[in-house]
Amino acid sequence: MSCIVRFFRRARHQLAQSLVLPPSSKEYRRWQERFVRDRIRLTLLITMLLLTILAIVNGMVIVPALTSGDSELLGASLEQYRFYPYFFTAQQLGLLLNLILLHRTDSLKKLQWSFLGYSAAVILSPQILYMLMGETILDLAGWILLFMFQAVLIPVQWRWHLISQVNLLIVVGLSVLVFRFDSPGIPAEMQQPIHIFLLVVMLCVFAVADMGIYLYERLLLREFELRQQLQLFLHAVSHDLRNPVTGTLMLLKSLPAHDGKFWLEPATVHQMIAGHERQLKLINSLLEVHSRDMAGVVLYQEAISLRQLICTAMPDWQSMLQQTQSTAQILITADLPPAIADPLQVRRVYDNIITNALQHNRPGLQITLDAIRHGNYVYCTISDNGQGIGSPETEKAASRAFNHRIFERYSSGINHRQPLHLGLGLYICRQIIEAHGGQIGVESELNQGTRFWFTLPLSL
């Protein structure tokens, strides 16, 4: 018995896991907003065209056939069609109003009202007009066609579809149960069985449509996020590999020449070898992250001395410092306890922040590197005396919001002077520090310099 219970619990857990929508990103929500707006506009236009075609067919084919006495063959009466122009007018006016208001929507929440307005114009308006005449219309074929039409053209936001379906059931329920309006053309003894049959059929249609929308939206979200990860991977590769390649190129351009021959100092050769080794490690690390389809950073942690790490990296920064006439000062003391971290990834953090500082400031920058113990963490800082981050407008914004935005993917919070700047450097820094269990932030004032800080766990 216990085995059966465990089996059903495991099956229920697996089913719940497979149906849960993964969290969506801001990029996906922005894309979905554009997608929904375009699809609602398309749905409104197609529906207006289809209703016009149906009105023409009814006026040119159905009504003449009824007036000629073929109503029994058609299973309809002329009485049912005498109010059709009013229904058609109400539907078209509702759709036209939604189409006009759609241009003023600027959020997904407002788009929801456009979607529900469309559904109400097509389905609820005829039903309400019939209720005013004291009747309940049961247009099963029309309802099924509309809800499937919605599911095909707007296959997202299953809750919106569910609300529109519940609204129809509420209106029909009020007409049948509260006001007790009969359905024309159905014998009195068959009214209740037909209503029950209609309810069961519509519930099945709703379940199929909503489940299809839910699964398709889940597929869309997964595909979009995977595409975003692929783009991030490609951009991260180009961003991280640019620094060592640039350093090597600067070294080659600065080689002394004599009688047509270039001379290499042993220290220069060693520096070029180290840069290429670091480039190879970066490629392997990025490929490993992508091949495992991970959204985080692969870490190989060990006890490291931050002062030794920075002193080792300083020769690679020296060429950029010289080119920008800048200086870097190391204030980290030798007795600072070692941190438990991945030295390659921590080096990437320093590379990205220092490179950004040198690229986005005037020549003559002074950079200060420091680190102190703060509880069970090492509190690291990278400060400069540059022009600061942002503009006078950003000074008025909330510092916490700006602090968070600058570390987002593709953020161009420094400035817009560098056309090759993809806004990935600080995003990668945040991913690395958070993977270590630390935090990262920035403090800056216009024309007063910038101070980046991050924490790394101590090796206890």
Which tens digit of pLDDT belongs to each residue from 442-460? 988 888 889 999 999 998 6
Q: Which of 4-13, 58-67, 228-237, 274-283 has the lowest mean pLDDT?
A: 4-13
Helix residue ranges, H only, 20-103: 26-57, 63-67, 71-74, 78-81, 84-102
* CA–CA dist 129, 120 (Å, integer): 12
310 lies in the same domain as 205: no
Residues ≥6 apart with Cβ < 8 Å to 70: none
* CA–CA dist 63, 265 (Å, integer): 98
Cβ distance 102 to 114 under 8 Å? yes
pLDDT over 90 (residue 290): no
* CA–CA dist 387, 366 (Å, integer): 11
- Number of other residues whose CB lies within 10 A of the CB of residue 207: 11
Burial class (CB in 10 A: 0-12, 13-18, 19+), 427: buried
203 lies in the same domain as 318: no
User: How confident is the model over 198-208, as a mean pLDDT?
Assistant: 91
Cβ distance 155 to 212 under 8 Å? yes
How far is residue 133 from each of residues 83, 129, 187, measured CA to CA in Å?
10, 7, 19
Domain for residue 418, yes or no?
Answer: yes
Q: Which residue has the higher pLDDT, 281 or 106?
A: 106
Domain for residue 282, yes or no?
Answer: no
Total structural domains within the chain: 2
Domain for residue 182, yes or no?
Answer: yes
312 lies in the same domain as 411: yes
Q: Which residue has the higher pLDDT, 242 or 303?
A: 303
Domain for residue 3, yes or no?
Answer: no
Q: What is the pLDDT of residue 333?
A: 92
Single out the residue in 193, 226, 259 at which a domain terminates. 226
Domain for residue 248, yes or no?
Answer: no
Domain for residue 263, yes or no?
Answer: no
Q: Which residue has the higher pLDDT, 142 or 392?
A: 142
418 lies in the same domain as 326: yes
Q: What is the pLDDT of residue 336?
A: 93
Which residue range(s) make up the domain with 345? 302-457
pLDDT above 90 covers a percentage of the chain that reads 33
Single out the residue in 194, 226, 258 at which a domain terminates. 226
Q: What is the pLDDT of residue 408?
A: 72
Q: What is the pLDDT of residue 74?
A: 44
222 lies in the same domain as 312: no
Q: Which of 71-80, 170-179, 262-271, 277-286 has the lowest mean pLDDT?
A: 71-80
Domain for residue 369, yes or no?
Answer: yes
Q: Which residue has the higher pLDDT, 306 or 295?
A: 306
Domain for residue 271, yes or no?
Answer: no
User: How confident is the model over 328-347, as a mean pLDDT?
Assistant: 93
pLDDT band at residue 60 using 50, 70 and 90 as cut-offs: confident
Single out the residue in 162, 196, 226 at which a domain terminates. 226
311 lies in the same domain as 211: no
Domain at 350, CATH number: 3.30.565.10
194 lies in the same domain as 79: yes
Which tens digit of pLDDT belongs to each residue from 170-201? 999 898 888 888 887 778 888 888 888 988 99
Q: What is the pLDDT of residue 75?
A: 46
Q: What pTM, to 2 d.p., does this model score?
A: 0.56
What residues are paired with 370 via a beta bridge? 381
Q: What is the pLDDT of residue 21?
A: 60
pLDDT over 90 (residue 366): yes
Q: Which residue has the higher pLDDT, 32 or 407?
A: 32
Q: Which residue has the higher pLDDT, 339 or 395?
A: 339
Q: Which of 25-34, 240-249, 307-316, 360-369 has the lowest mean pLDDT?
A: 240-249
Q: What is the pLDDT of residue 250?
A: 72
Average pLDDT, the chain: 80
pLDDT band at residue 415 using 50, 70 and 90 as cut-offs: very low
pLDDT over 90 (residue 44): yes
pLDDT band at residue 162 using 50, 70 and 90 as cut-offs: very high
pLDDT above 70 covers a percentage of the chain that reads 73
pLDDT band at residue 436 using 50, 70 and 90 as cut-offs: very high
Q: Which of 177-181, 275-279, 407-411 has the lowest mean pLDDT?
A: 407-411
